[in-house]
Structure 1
């Protein structure tokens, strides 16, 4: 349980231990964040640790980085706390097929141009598995085909691990609303069918 969350709509941090939630200028904020998840956007509240780029163990333990707020009794007091929402997304068969098809397309294209190709390439320490690792005279590119939901922080962490192993991360998605495409920064992202090549933090 946490006593703080990040409001993705207002771009603010909320302190649940304070009566004004640390944001006195936002009237009705408590009522808004304590609404049922079915009555507000699922991604409205985010784990602060995940938002700041850290590794939240709750999120890694089969739960999402998205939060909900509820009451909890602590001794003789009732307080507001934030808890992680469970992961509800399961990759549909068509997503899996698209993922495989994109990996095959990348691998075939790279091989046709005389580059070395490895699929599901595992780093020496086993901490990085790349969908398609393409190696040429200029270096190594780690292609990642991403068709299921993923947070920008997860992409940052995985991209950083790749760069630490001299792999340039390159993410591919068909979803223009994905966190892969809406946050500018240093990991390259492409959207098939789009003329733009975007950057992720």
Structure 2
């Protein structure tokens, strides 16, 4: 049903027309027969967004479907939108409160320029993080994958889906955080810790021998001697996730895949070096997906190949202009400065920590802004994520050589 969110002026307030019982819907259709004169059903979307009153027509199709529509020429139909529950609002309030306290800009019900892409809370730090809380099952044609794809296309750096239902998490088909269930008073209590139970993992790297204690993905009892990468569940609180994600300290792996997950920026780098970067995985099973990309054509793992070959920055070619080279070298220097500022946080406490945190945030923001500008340069044939990974690999390589 389109236009499902309506205001009823008889005292019931904002309701979801698709959730009304047949005993409630039938008299509503009769009472609202002359909708403009009756003034009983008002479009909640138009009122909430623009403070414009549109009196809606309500009727039933022959097949039994419910219809809530605008008067001819007033406005286009709106896509289905779930009614915000008290818990949903409490979660969004908490995310906004934690994000603002950390120094981020928070925008509620933020919409992109296309008018169709909405974020429950948009957190703006070094990255644009779209936070989406899901309490009810997804509607066909308006699922998490479609909404995530549109959000990423609308220049959101990442979409953080969150639910407290294992059923919704399993059916989302995107990388989704699952937390323990909490009531509204618990969600509103800043001292109550909401733990992420699924969707956040740490990356493991091991040389496959019988001494390492890991089972060989190829089924060899004594190990195959290759370097393998896998992940296992890890712990983080929702508040810590919100503090770290807009700063790029945690990042999503395969955000458009059901088996996608979030991990630390360090583990994300390890994962990308072994499997490459992409929004969806290939293959049918977890072991099959990871194993086929773990080895290169020469039989070495990517980690071993990286040790055997000098790391070169892919854009540095002889025919490039000196101006572009200077810009890219500047990116490397900005990332190195941000890493140095972050390293200074290790032994600090109190006001000194807060001051250094702001210094690191400033340095990280400068790098991200320069990265966005450079990615639009006509001579750069890489996407922004690819360019970012190349710069960070160059920084790590220079530190290893030093």
**Which TM-score applies when normalising by structure 2?**
0.25
Higher RCO (C-alpha 8 Å, min separation 6): 1
Structure ID, larger Rg? 2
The structure richer in strand per residue is 1
Structure in which a larger fraction of residues adopt helix: 2
